[in-house]
């Protein structure tokens, strides 16, 4: 069954200022100063760079 996210939504990620973070289900999203985002999965330490 797929996990539903209530905190890590596209709109909530886009509202963050540089340096702010969101955490949900072991995933941490950090808004970077260059307007991109950085998402890290804590359990496996996989890193994802998001643009936009």
Give residue limits of the domains in the chain.
Answer: 10-50
Q: Which pTM value belongs to this model?
A: 0.69
Contact 38, 50 (CB under 8 A): yes
Given this model, what pLDDT does residue 25 score?
A: 86
Given this model, what pLDDT does residue 50 score?
A: 66
Which residues 6+ apart lie within 8 Å of 46 measured at CB? 40
Q: How far apart are the first and last CA of the chain?
A: 28
Query: What's the Cα-to-Cα distance from 5 to each of 16, 33, 34, rounded to whole Å?
Result: 17, 24, 25
Q: Is the pLDDT of residue 39 over 60?
A: yes
Which of the two residues, 46 and 4, has the higher pLDDT score?
4
* Average of per-residue pLDDT across 13-35: 88
Nearest one of 35, 34, 29, 2 to 13, comparing CA atoms: 29
């Amino acid at each position: 069954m797929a996990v539903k996210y209530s905190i890590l939504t596209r709109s909530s990620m886009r509202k963050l200022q540089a340096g702010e973070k969101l955490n949900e289900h072991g995933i941490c999203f950090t808004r970077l100063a260059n307007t991109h985002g950085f998402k890290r999965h804590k359990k496996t330490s996989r890193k994802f760079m998001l643009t936009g």
